[in-house]
Structure 1
Amino acid sequence: MTKQIQSDAASQAVPCLLIPTQGKSLLLPNVTVAEVVGYTEPRPLENAPAWFLGFMFWRGEQIPVLSYELANQEVQVSKTVSARIAVMNGSGTHNRLPFFAVVVQGIPRMVRVGSEDVEQSQENLGPAEAMAVKTALGKAYIPNLPYLESLLTKVI
């Protein structure tokens, strides 16, 4: 019976990615991330907010690129040599936004996370953060994707 309980708990774990950003990691379900690609300089848009870095072409589509740190009202430092771009699947709420991209600072790590693996952390969050959590791999932040999408729809 113990094996059955352990097996059930393991099957309820969600495959996730720990994605490094400047000074923290984001925790996202795998299905949220379409692909992580090498960094290329986005094509800027005139008079755009600082957090909006511009557009990039991905699989034949032009998609918007943002700085998570600046969208979260943090200071952004220069890109590192390990910078990448994480292409996110849109939520489907905004027809004009099937995908968007976020600059990240390294290669994501795959993890399986169950509800028993996550403990909510009580701390002040930025507007782009839905929740801070403690995992076996350390502290991570669950991004507020609807907020990021709403920012982008105001610009594109």
Structure 2
Amino acid sequence: MTSQPVTTADHPVLRVPPADPAVAAAHFAAALAFHADASDVAAALTAGADPGFVLLDSRSAESWDQGHIPGAVHLPTSLIAGQAHGLLDPDVPVVTYCWGPACNGAARAALVLAGLGYRVKEMLGGFEYWVREGFAYETVRGPERRGADPLTAPVGAEACGC
């Protein structure tokens, strides 16, 4: 009995074929222009020098008090249009974050900031992945840190290697 070759029409992954390499390169370069991940943001913030961007937490005051990234600026999305120019230097890129991957608050904040003329990126994973990757955060009670979730970051390693 010989098996029949799988045709691309029947293949769940290749039913729509991969893009031409040049098209794929343009797509992924564009995606990186709009996004940073928690690990890269943490590395930039802890490198000891000016990270070259401002990190902006776009969540509510209650969310901020529950936990936020050290050094972040707190500016809820609803206040950005009226307060950004008083808090943010338009020449410095802004990286926004919100709760996590199931929340689009950071994207909404980035949209408002871009409309005001700021260069902006969204931090993928938001506060959830910051905590899950084992980075320190602050609450109204003071600094906190949890161990890295082995499904999101290598336990006991400085970097994920990606």
Please report the TM-score for the alignment, with normalisation by the length of structure 1. 0.26
Structure with the greater alpha carbon radius of gyration = 2
Richer in strand (by share): 1
* Larger helix proportion of the pair: 2
Which TM-score applies when normalising by structure 2? Answer: 0.25
